Structure 1
Amino acid sequence: MCDQPIQIAVLGDKAVGKTAIVRQWLYNDFSTVYSETNIASYHFTSLFNGQRLFHIRIIDTPRFDDTNNTDPQQEWVRMYCFRRAHLFLLVFDINREETFNYIKHIYREIARVRLGGHHQYYHHHSHSHSHSHHQSQILADLTNDDEVEQITTIATKTYIPVIVVANKVDLISTDLRFSNITLTNSRDIQQYVKKTFKANTIQCSAKFHWHLVLLFKEVCRMLETVEDTVAKQAAQQARRWLQQQHHGKHCHVM
């Protein structure tokens, strides 16, 4: 078991139910009065899948605006999540297509950051010329016009642990004349996410606690792989620290 908590970032547009999902799962609490999330909140908890205990840190985030319009605090949280989160819950409102488009945008932004969109992160994770060339090719792919090919290329060439969460299924209109979403068929949504994000889609209702257990079972399933990665990263950091300490003992001031 890894001592370092696994960080789960909950991302999505405004009013899609990010906070509602977190609070319903952790505290069995749901508020009918909407309150916009303006500052990220952090929740420490544990999940047990019957064999392994996972210590997790859930980061409930506000909507991230375009980079040029964010305040410093929001930009710090945005970059922290994009760089440091081990698992992403991308939440959208199944009744509002624009919220699904937003998480596609967020996915591309995460990929840009993790593939070297910022120099320091890129320098830290680049170890060879061939790897650098591979990263550049992926970044070039991000400029493709075809959206499906673009996101599929990202998901194929780099692993971003993602679960797509379709919330508010209790509000789906039974009369298709009043449905304003083009992805009305849940099978279409799942196939799109599986093809482009290489991820699974969980439909749920935070209001009625519907399928939240299924959602966090999927979280546990993915954490088995994620925790091994976190443990390896922690071991590498410890070795680097010991090496730095060792070299420091042999330094002399002249």
Structure 2
Amino acid sequence: MGGTLRVAVLGAPGVGKTAIIRQFLYGDFPERHRPTAARRLYRPAVLLNGAVYDLSISDGGPGPAPAPAAGPAAAPAAAAASAASSSSASASASASSAAASAATSAASSAGDGGLQELPDLKDWSLQDMDAFVLVYDICSPDSFDYVKVLRQQIAENRPAGAPEAPIIVVGNKRDQQRQRFSPRRALAVLVKKSWKCGYMECSAKYNWHVVLLFKELLSSVLARGCKHSHPAIRLQGALHPNRCSLM
């Protein structure tokens, strides 16, 4: 038993997408933030409950094409990504006020705001992903709005009749708990009851709940065939007795 599972990790610039992936794969945390200039693919093998699974983890950046995870980003691309990330702070507030029903048009009309960096799901073939991790910064309401639009885009671009792809919304930077913009319980209720997604929080810096995140993700994908269990329920706390390790 086993197979290949395709996972997309998406979110606004600077929320810690790459840090979460690197903490899971390599157990390290980059102290200096370097914007991801283009989408990167990581291909680890994972042992879960005695079965080996090949993961294809897509680290979502603004660039249109995948780049090898081991290779350094080109300097011009990194500089461009840095400029886009810094300019997003000044206009993300106006972009976040776009109605959810106009999510696609908001991404193209947000000017210099962060929403203009929303990935093109068709170009990236994200419709074929087995699961999604949508990351936001618990100290940044704009990054949560970004995730809201992403979730809607995923739903709108899912091919008719395609199997359900589990989504986990992840609040990163839990180590900055005192600066959070909203109580954890309020966000968890919104995500699980209104969005019908899983929810958890982690700290990539201190490796808190990072491994658990990927355990729950794998479990939710494998349990997708359970028709009588809601996906948001299946995601919550079902993996504590399970074993998951990198190979």
Q: TM-score, normalised by structure 1?
A: 0.62
Displacement of 1:227 after TM fit?
A: 8.9
Asked if structure 1 preserves the Cα contact closer than 8 Å seen for 2:137 and 2:143, the reply is yes
What is the DSSP-based 3-state SS (H/G/I as helix, E as strand, rest coil) of the residue aligned with 2:43? strand
Deviation at 1:160, TM superposition (A): 3.5
What corresponds to 1:47 in structure 2?
46
* 1:164–1:35 Cα change, 3 Å: same
What residue in structure 2 maps to residue 221 of structure 1? 219
Give the total of aligned pairs: 178
CA–CA separation in structure 1 for the residues paired with 2:16 and 2:133? 12
In structure 2, list runs of 5 or more residues that go unmatched: 64-105, 112-117, 227-247
- Shift of residue 222, structure 1, vs aligned partner: 1.1
With over 3 angstroms needed to count, the CA separation of the structure-2 counterparts of 1:54 and 1:223, relative to structure 1, is farther
**CA spacing shift, 1:86–1:31, aligned 2, 3 Å:** same
Which 10-residue stretch deviates more, 190-199 or 78-87? 78-87
Shift of 1:43: 0.5
Q: Deviations over 1:180-224 (max 9, x none)?
A: 72xx21111111110122222111100010111221221221131
Q: Which residue of structure 2 aligns with residue 238 of structure 1?
A: none
Q: Check the 8 A contact 1:37/1:62 in 2, yes or no.
A: yes
Instruction: Pick closer, same or farther for the CA change 1:76–1:94 going to 2, 3 Å.
Output: closer
**Closer, same or farther: CA 24–180 of 1 in aligned 2, 3 Å:** closer
Please state whether the residue corresponding to 1:10 is helix, strand or coil. strand
The 1-side partners of 2:177 and 2:19 are apart by 18
Residue 166 of structure 1 aligns to a residue whose secondary structure is strand
Alignment of 1:55-70 (within 5 A): 55-63=54-62, 66-67=107-108
Where is the helix percentage greater, Structure 1 or Structure 2? 1
Give percent identity, aligned residues only: 31
Distance 1:167 1:75 in 2: 20
Contact 2:121 2:154 (C-alpha < 8 Å) held by counterparts: no
Q: Is the 8 A contact 1:67 1:75 kept in 2?
A: no
State the match for 2:192 in structure 1: 194
Aligned to 1:91: 135
What SS class does the counterpart of residue 56 from structure 2 fall into? Answer: strand
- Indicate the SS of the match to 1:6: strand
Find the residue that maps to 1:172 and give its secondary structure.
helix
Query: Out of 137, 142, 150, which is 1:106 matched to?
Result: 150
Q: Rg: which structure is higher?
A: 1
Cα root mean square deviation, aligned = 2.9
Q: Aligned equivalents of 2:135 and 2:210: distance in 1?
A: 13
Query: Could you report, residue by residue, the CA deviation over 1:99-146 in whole angstroms, capped at 9, with x for unpaired residues?
Result: 11111100111111115xxxxxx6xx59xxxxxxxxxxxxxxxxxxxx
1:33 Cα deviation (Å)? 0.6
Query: CA contact under 8 A between 1:11 and 1:90: conserved in structure 2?
Result: yes
Instruction: Give the whole-Å Cα distance in 2 for the aligned partners of 1:102 and 1:76.
Output: 14
Q: Distance in 2 between matches of 1:9 and 1:36?
A: 17
Identify if the C-alpha distance between structure 1 residues 76 and 14 changes in structure 2 by more than 3 Å, giving closer, same or farther: closer
Conserved 8 A contact 1:87-1:226: no
CA contact (8 A) 1:91 1:167 kept: yes
Length-normalised TM-score, structure 2: 0.64
| Partner SS, residue 205 of structure 2 | coil
| 3-state secondary structure, aligned to 1:66 | helix
Alignment of 1:1-254 (within 5 A): 1-3=1-3, 5-63=4-62, 66-67=107-108, 79-115=123-159, 159-173=164-178, 179=179, 181=181, 184-225=182-223
